């Protein structure tokens, strides 16, 4: 289960709303150094 205050589904805050957007979950966290996925590993969910 994912819990965060950074994202929401169908909320009024357009900067956090992920409805109708793509969300990709990788096996490891991103290092935010290389693009597009850096060293975050394989995709586990889309």
| pLDDT for the residue numbered 12 | 93
44 backbone dihedrals φ, ψ, rounded to 5°: -110, -20
| pLDDT for the residue numbered 40 | 81
Measure the CA–CA gap between 36 and 16, rounded to whole angstroms: 20
List pLDDT tens digits, range 10-41: 999 999 999 998 888 888 887 777 776 677 88
Q: Tell me the pTM.
A: 0.50
10 Å CB burial of residue 37 (0-12, 13-18, 19+) is middle
Instruction: Sketch the domain layout of the chain as residue ranges.
Output: 1-46
What is the CA angle 29-35-20, rounded to 5? 75
- In the DSSP assignment, the letter for residue 1 is -
Q: Select the more confidently predicted residue: 32 or 43.
A: 43
Q: Which of 15, 14, 18 is nearest to 2 (CA)?
A: 18
């Amino acid at each position: 289960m994912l819990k965060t205050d950074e994202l929401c589904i169908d909320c009024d805050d357009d900067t956090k709303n992920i409805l109708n957007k793509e969300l990709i979950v990788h096996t490891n966290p991103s290092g935010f150094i290389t693009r597009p996925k850096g060293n975050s590993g394989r995709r586990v969910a889309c």
